[in-house]
Amino acid sequence: MFVAHSRFTIANQMIEEVKQAFRDRPHLVDKAPGFVRLDVISPLENPEEIWLVTYWEDEDSFTNWRRSHRFRESHKWIPKGLKLVPKSVHLHRFEHITT
């Protein structure tokens, strides 16, 4: 299994709008080939930070999702006016070893 972890930091006090957008998301990734699960979490010590942890059958499935029109469409749900802290967006790729 493959795991992708991305994170970003909200710069303009829109944390509740962002959290609600994730709660109301259209679940487009759920239908992507190879998709297993998505967790959206936020560290208690830095609530302006959002972490996305996705689990995939393999890295190719994740790469294909990121190149798809559905990926671009899923980002249309981002709240209007959202600003991120510059250089706060990070993506890490992991091999899932065990649960």
CA angle 54, 52, 33 (to 5 degrees): 30
Q: Domain boundaries in the chain?
A: 2-95
Amino acid at 57: E
pTM listed for this prediction: 0.90
User: What tens digit of pLDDT does each residue of 14-64 get?
Assistant: 999 999 999 999 999 999 999 999 999 999 999 999 999 999 999 999 999
Predicted confidence at residue 76, as pLDDT, reads: 87
Which residue type is seen at 92? H
Class of CATH domain 2-95: alpha beta
Q: What is the pLDDT at residue 19?
A: 95
Mean local confidence (pLDDT), 86-92: 96
Are 51 and 6 in contact, with CB atoms under 8 Å apart?
yes
Q: What is the pLDDT of residue 75?
A: 87
Please name the residues in contact with 67: beta carbons below 8 A apart, sequence gap of 6 or more. Answer: none
Determine contact, residues 85/51, Cβ cutoff 8 Å. no
